[in-house]
Structure formats: C-alpha cells, structure tokens
Amino acid sequence: MSMILAVAKNRVMNLKRDRAAFTLAFILPVAFFTIFAAIFSGAGKAATRKIPLIVVDEDGSDASRQFVAGLKAEAGLSVGLKPGEENDPNGPLYTAAQAEQAVKKGEAPVALIVPKGFGAHPLAFGPGSERSTVRVLADSSDPIAPQVVNGLVQKVAMTSMPAALARSGMSELEKWSGGLTPEQRARMEEAIGAIDRARDGAAAASGAGRANAGLVAVETRDVVGGKKKNPTVTFYAAGLGVMFLLFSATGAGGALIEEAESGTLDRILSTRVSMTRLLLGKLLYLGGVGVVQLCLMFVWGALFFGLELWNHLPGFFVMTIATAAVSSAFGLMLASVCRSRMQLVALSNLSILLMSALGGSLFPRFLMSEKLQKIGLITLNAWALDGFQKIFWRDEPVWAIWPQVAVLVGLGLLFFFVARRVAERWEAT
Amino acid sequence: MPAEALPLEIRDVSKSFADRRALDGVSLEMRPGEILGLLGPNGAGKTTLVRSVASRVVPDSGTVRILGFDAADPRARAVRGWVPQEIALYPLLSPKENLWTFGRYQGLSGGALDRGIAASLDWIGLADRADDKTDKLSGGMKRRLNIAAGTIHDPRVLLLDEPTVGVDPQSRERIYAMIGELKGRGVSLLYTTHYMEEAERLCDRIAIIDHGKIIASGTKEDLVRKTVGTRQAVAVDAAAPIPAALWDRLAGLGAQRDGQQVRLSVEDPAAEIRRLLDLFHSAGVPVRDLTLKAPTLEQVFLQLTGRELRE
C-alpha cells in the first residue's frame, strides 16, 4: 500500500511542477460544465432559442395582418418580414420566391407564406371545410423548427384572430344546424363585433388555448434537403471530422515538444533547416494527414451511410484543404505555446472541446440560441461546418463558400504567425 | 572559402544570461586536422561555448568563425557537424531513417544521400540493424548512431560533446576508434569530455575553461610543464618498519613518510630511484612495492581550477 501511495504522490508532485497543466486539469471540468449547461439546459437568456421565421403576407387583409402580428408577438419566434433592415419602414417585404431562396441559403430554417384569400377563409373546422392553406417552407436539416412553427401557427390563429374564429364557428353552425334566422345572425355579428373591439382595446391576447392542429391548414414543404438520403450523416461527418482533425493535429504537433525535450530540435536548428522551414514542413505533414482523415471519413460515409460525396467533390476538396490547413496551424500554435506534453494535452482538450461545443461539432448550432450561434462564429469549427453544410446540404456552388474559406485561411495564417512568433524561444539565444 | 582560414576561430566572445556571465572574453583557435579538447568543471561555460560554435547561442560580443564563415552562416552550417551530448535522434525511426533525416537536413539528396547512409551504417557497424527501431538499440549503438547523424554530410569541423557518456568500456573503445578515423580523414574536432584519460589519449591540444574564461591551453606536456612542472612522484612501500637511521637519510632527500610508505618527488627517476633503493638495501629493509607516477592532466586541472573535473 505504501508503494501505491508513493506512486500516487509522485504523480501529484509531477503535476504540481507543471503549473499550467495543474491549473488546466481543474479548470477543464468546470469550464465544460459551464459551456454545456449553457447550451443544453437553456440556463440563462443566452441559451433560449428563438426560431428565425420569414413571413410573407401575400393576402394583406385585416385577418392576415392580425395573424402576422400574432406571430411576431410569439416569444419563441424571431419573425423577419424584410430581406433588408427589419426596422426600415420603406424596406421592401419578402416575396415568396425570396423567402424560399433565403431558406435555401440557410438564412432562416423556416419561411411561412400566407396566401391570397387567407382573410376570407382563414380557419376551418374539420376536413372538407373551405379554407386557405398556409405554406411552410422548411430546411429539413432543422427537424424541430417547422414543427414548432406549425404548432405556433395554430395557437396564434386561436389567440390573435378571435373574430375570425367566431365567424368560422358560426358558419359551421349554419352548415350543420340547417341555417340561422336573420335575427340570430344579427346577434352573432354583434357579438363578433364586440370581440373585435375588445381585442383592439386589449394590449395583447394571452395565449391560453390549446394548439388545435387543423384550425389553419398548413402545407409543409422541404425546400432544402428533402431529397437527401441520409440527412444527419453530413452533419456528423463534418462535425466529428473537424473535431478529430483538431485532436490529431495538436497531438502530432506535440512532436515539436518532444524534439525540444530530447535535444533533437537543437540539432535540427544547427543544420540548414531554419525554424520557419521546420514549421512549414510540419504544417505540410499535418495538413496532409488532415486531408486524408477527412477523405476517409467522407468516403466511409458515402459507402455505408448514403452521404452524397461523389456529386460534391470540388466543394468537398476545397473545404477539406482549408479545414485541414487551419486545423494544422492551430495544432502547431498550441504545441508552440505549451512547455510540456501535459500542458499540451490539457490545453488541447480544453480548447478543442470548447470550440467543438460552441462551433457545432457536438450539437448543431441551429438548435442553439441566436446569441450562442453568434458566439460560435469565433470558432473555426463553425466556419468549417457552415462551409460543408453549404456544399453538402444546400448544394451551393463552390464559389459560394468563399466567406468560409476566406475566414479559415485567414485564421490559419494567424495561427501560423503566432506559432512562428512563439517558437522564437527555441531559436538561437 | 577564405584562404588559409582556421577550422575554428573564436575571438573575444562574451555571453551573459540574465545576470550570469557564462562566457567572458573567450578566444580560442583550432588548427586544421587537430582534436582540441575542451575541459572545464560544471558551470564553467563549456556548454555555452560549444553552443556558440553550433550557432545555437548568439554571443553578446566577439566572433565565432568556422573556416572563415560566421557560425550562423549557411556555409558554416554546411561544413560543421554537431554531435550533442543527448541522444538527439528519433527513437521510433530506424538508424537508416534517422540518417536519411539528418542527411536531408544537411542538404544531401539522391545518390549522395544514399551513399552517405550506407557508408555511415558500415562505419558505425549497424548495417545489419539498419531497419530496427532506434530505441531497441543498445546504449553504445545509439551513441555511435548519434555520431553518424552529425557526420553524414562529411563535415570539415566537428563538435563532439561528451560522446562517450554512459557507454561501456568496449563501446567506448569503438567510439575512440571512430574518432581516430575522423581525424584520419582530416576532420578538425572540438571535443568536450568529463573523462580526463580520454582527453589525454585523444586530444592534440587541450583548453581549460573556468568561470567563462580560457585559463590555459596547449598540449598536455605544455600544460603539465607550465603548471605542476615535470617532476614525477615515487612511492616506496617498505615490508618492515623503517629504522630511524634510514629515515634520517630519506628525509635528507626531501622524502615524506606515511607509516611504512615513503613518498618522494624526483626530477630524474632513473638516477634517483636507484639511489633510493640502495638506501633501503643498505639498511636491510625489504621493499614490497614501488610506483612511479608522471604528472597527470588531473593534477593540472586541480591546480588550475581548484576542483576535480567531475565535481
């Protein structure tokens, strides 16, 4: 037992000597808990997700305006009516075509088209009733948003259009009861008018009604990804691929620390190899390994999980090379900054898991709150995944990924520059 | 290459780390084809000096020139080889792969590289282990490979930093033979060691560094003559107690006594030992043992630095 304790104590002594590793070993779990709690448990406003919804009101009737206003009042939705600045009073409204295009581009996961004639027959009870059909255009990469929107459409119909609801009820009553007398009809109209006046006077109707599917007819159409064989595979291939690329790049970058510790780095730098050449050589190797890793992962996905690789090859290669380059530069930067393997392991675990969580490798970013989605953009994962999604999910052409590629290349250059500067400590003193 | 440039010319080099002065105006020359030994106690500035020559330390002042080129100049890198004290190799790579790596880093390629690898493997006796993992080799084998990795490009000037540390006597002999072969090829060597006998055996000249300064340099004989002189130590162990009469006569010769042992410093051993033995014989005292010891580098070192080399 005393020997076992001695071994344990020896490890504690080692850890205490490496202060950075010591600190990270204890910061790591707390940091992760905080990040994951924010993302998954919805703690705090930052994590509350509002679903971006584009609404096109083709009808322009009182009823449709009430309906749209009801949707805007919903806390769970972030309604956009204009492709430009939302608060610009003269800004043009979305057309149905523009809304569809916006969903295809990933600007919003859902668009809702209120068709002409909606005001005349907004609601109906039961099948066969005369009513307008609201169209929902969905991006099937987000399976939750269209369902939430569908539910909220029913709720808003009940709470924001009480007069329309009553009229529909009256017409159903007439239809099934054999007709109302003029006097009964007059009284009903008077009551409906009172409902309208009360609604106008009230600040906002509070939604207490149960969402009644079928009150508003909704037709949902997947405008993106509907024909994909296996939609989630793209997400996981890119997400996990980028995360493991980062892990393997930092692990392999650690060779630099081993070379420094063994004296091999000293020997190398006394030859004709300069530090810049050494780092560029390592970058080339790490990048090459990264490209092979991603190729393997996607080919595997194509062969066994229906990932549509073969018709997206150009975009795949551009994204793969950019992602492998930036991941390699990141690995080199971490290895240059760290003084020991222990530090590198701790720092890489912390930074990569953090970036993967925020950047969408572990949990899709579109399911996070807008604020977290914006924060996620500081990670290279987010940009890499966005690029892969554009190619594989939205079938966008290669040129469309230039913002993602530009950011990744820029980050790669920045990481390499930092690595080179920090590596000066190994040069002749 | 500058005409008649020395293999190594160090002029007035100083270097400080924080408030510690590691080198303090060091000047040293190495002549073509010689093995120059660098001795010094720990912390004397040996490593800093070697690293300056290897262009891993930039001097605060002074110059380090290799065959006329500044130590950091690419032309100096091409003609210089460095065998660091550590086994600075890739343990998972084979000897062949390690040699390929350092050959390429020194600018060899194609046939020259292939020939260099083959010749090096033969030279260090590892041709039959060429494809094994380096970390599976014995300590002596790794040491030899460490030397080959620093010489694969046929350097004209070689820095050898304690190349025999931690190896068994047999491997050490083999390394001595390799160093002899390098010298035979005309390579000029700067050799640091903690083993005095190694310095005495291998080095043509020796420089002793202490407190960042070269405090003496020259051949072993020069150093001995300048510091401890040329007198040799004689010790005689008597097989019986030394009578007072005999002792009086020995004391007259300047001898010192320690029990039954008598010690004496002599200038002409052949004549003086004969006189000494005659005295013992005349007094009827049998002699059990007699030793004659020439002054050693160890004594020189002790005299100059006040410390043992391995302190």
> What integer pLDDT is reported at residue A388 of this predicted model?
92
Q: What homologous superfamily does CATH list for B8-226?
A: P-loop containing nucleotide triphosphate hydrolases (3.40.50.300)
Give the span between the Cα atoms of B36 and B218, in whole angstroms: 9
Question: In this model, does residue B69 exceed pLDDT 80?
Answer: yes
Give the span between the Cα atoms of A149 and B236, in whole angstroms: 110
Which residues of A fall within a CB distance of 8 Å from B106? 271-272
For chain B, where do the domains classified as CATH 3.30.70 start and end? 231-294
Q: Cβ of B86 and A262 within 8 Å?
A: yes
Q: Is the dihedral of CA A34, A37, A43, A46 positive or negative?
A: positive
Is B208 part of the contact surface with chain A (CB cutoff 8 Å)? no
Q: With H, G, I as helix, E, B as strand and everything else as coil, classify residue A100.
A: helix
Give the span between the Cα atoms of A281 and A286, in whole angstroms: 9
Q: Residue A428 is nearest to which of B55, B78, B88, comparing CB atoms?
A: B55
DSSP secondary structure code for residue A220 in this structure: E
Average pLDDT, integer, range B193-214: 89
Contacts of A401 (CB under 8 A, 6+ apart): A315, A318, A319, A387, A390, A391
Q: What is the CA radius of gyration of chain A?
A: 29
Q: Cβ of A263 and B84 within 8 Å?
A: yes
Contacts of A177 (CB under 8 A, 6+ apart): none
Searching chain B, which residue's CA lies closest to the CA of residue A426? B56
Question: pLDDT averaged over consecutive 10-residue blocks of chain A (429 residues)?
Answer: 79 75 72 70 56 87 83 84 80 86 84 83 59 81 80 78 64 66 72 59 36 63 70 79 87 86 92 92 91 90 86 93 95 90 84 88 80 88 92 88 96 96 86
Per CATH, domain A47-224 is 3.40.1710: yes
What are the φ/ψ torsions at residue B126 (nearest 5 degrees)?
A: -120, 20
Distance in Å, alpha carbon of A261 to nearest chain B alpha carbon? 9
Mind giving me the DSSP string for chain B? --TT--SEEEEEEEEEETTEEEEEEEEEEE-TT-EEEEE--TTSSHHHHHHHHTTSS--SEEEEEETTEETTSHHHHHHEEEE-SS--S-TTS-HHHHHHHHHHHTT--HHHHHHHHHHHHHHTT-GGGTTS-GGGS-HHHHHHHHHHHHHTT--SEEEEESTTTT--HHHHHHHHHHHHHHHHTT-EEEEE-S-HHHHHHH-SEEEEEETTEEEEEE-HHHHHHHHT-S-EEEEEEESSPPPHHHHHHHHHTT-EEETTEEEEEESSHHHHHHHHHHHHHHHT--EEEEEEE---HHHHHHHHHSS-TT-
Which residues of A fall within a CB distance of 8 Å from B64? none
Distance in Å, alpha carbon of B55 to nearest chain A alpha carbon? 6
Searching chain B, which residue's CA lies closest to the CA of residue A256? B90
Angle between helices B110-123 and B139-151 (to 10 degrees): 150
Between residues A167 and B218, the one the model is more confident about? B218
> What integer pLDDT is reported at residue A239 of this predicted model?
87
Per CATH, domain B231-294 is 3.30.70: yes
A12 contacts A39 by C-beta, under 8 angstroms: no
How many angstroms from the chain centroid is the CA of residue A123? Answer: 34
Which run of H or E residues covers position A419? helix A402-422
Is B93 part of the contact surface with chain A (CB cutoff 8 Å)? no
> What integer pLDDT is reported at residue A307 of this predicted model?
84
> Which residues are registered as beta bridge partners of A112?
A55, A136
Give the span between the Cα atoms of B249 and A383, in whole angstroms: 99
> What integer pLDDT is reported at residue A48 of this predicted model?
59
Burial status of residue A188 (CB atoms within 10 A of its CB: 0-12, 13-18, 19 or more): middle
> What integer pLDDT is reported at residue A251 of this predicted model?
81
> What integer pLDDT is reported at residue A191 of this predicted model?
65
Q: Where are the domains of chain A?
A: 47-224, 229-426
Q: With H, G, I as helix, E, B as strand and everything else as coil, classify residue A337.
A: helix
Give the span between the Cα atoms of A215 and A151, in whole angstroms: 10
Give the span between the Cα atoms of B91 and B167, in whole angstroms: 18
**pLDDT, tens digit, 9 for 90 and up, residues A300-352:** 888 888 888 888 999 999 999 999 999 999 999 999 998 888 888 888 888 89
Contacts of A119 (CB under 8 A, 6+ apart): A59, A61, A62, A63, A64
Pairing between β-strand A217-224 and β-strand B35-39 as defined by DSSP bridges: unpaired
Q: Residue A429 is nearest to which of B57, B77, B102, comparing CB atoms?
A: B57
Is B63 part of the contact surface with chain A (CB cutoff 8 Å)? no
Q: Cβ of A264 and B89 within 8 Å?
A: yes
Is B16 part of the contact surface with chain A (CB cutoff 8 Å)? no
Give the span between the Cα atoms of B117 and B112, in whole angstroms: 9
- Token representation of residue A133: 């059909």
Which residues of A fall within a CB distance of 8 Å from B150? 267
Among A257, A265, A266, A267, most B C-beta atoms within 10 A, so best to mutate, is A267
Which run of H or E residues covers position A235? helix A231-253
Distance in Å, alpha carbon of B216 to nearest chain A alpha carbon? 27
Give the span between the Cα atoms of A347 and A17, in whole angstroms: 16
Is A268 part of the contact surface with chain B (CB cutoff 8 Å)? yes
Is A272 part of the contact surface with chain B (CB cutoff 8 Å)? yes
| B219 C-beta neighbours (distance < 10 Å), count | 12
In one-letter notation, the amino acid at residue A132 is S
Q: Cβ of B88 and A266 within 8 Å?
A: yes
B158: left (phi over 0), alpha (psi -120 to 50) or beta: beta
Residue whose tokens read 């002790």: B302
Of the candidates A290, A299, A280, the residue with the CA atom closest to the CA atom of residue A320: A290
Which run of H or E residues covers position A414? helix A402-422
Which residues of B fall within a CB distance of 8 Å from A268? 105
> What integer pLDDT is reported at residue A206 of this predicted model?
35
Which residues of B fall within a CB distance of 8 Å from A263? 84-88
Which residues of B fall within a CB distance of 8 Å from A266? 51, 54, 56, 84, 88
**pLDDT, tens digit, 9 for 90 and up, residues B229-282:** 778 888 899 998 888 888 888 888 888 888 888 888 888 888 888 988 999 998
Average pLDDT, integer, range B94-108: 93
Distance in Å, alpha carbon of A303 to nearest chain B alpha carbon? 35
For chain B, where do the domains classified as CATH 3.40.50.300 start and end? 8-226
> What integer pLDDT is reported at residue B34 of this predicted model?
94
> What integer pLDDT is reported at residue A226 of this predicted model?
64
Which run of H or E residues covers position A246? helix A231-253
**pLDDT, tens digit, 9 for 90 and up, residues B160-197:** 998 988 888 888 899 999 999 999 999 999 999 888 88
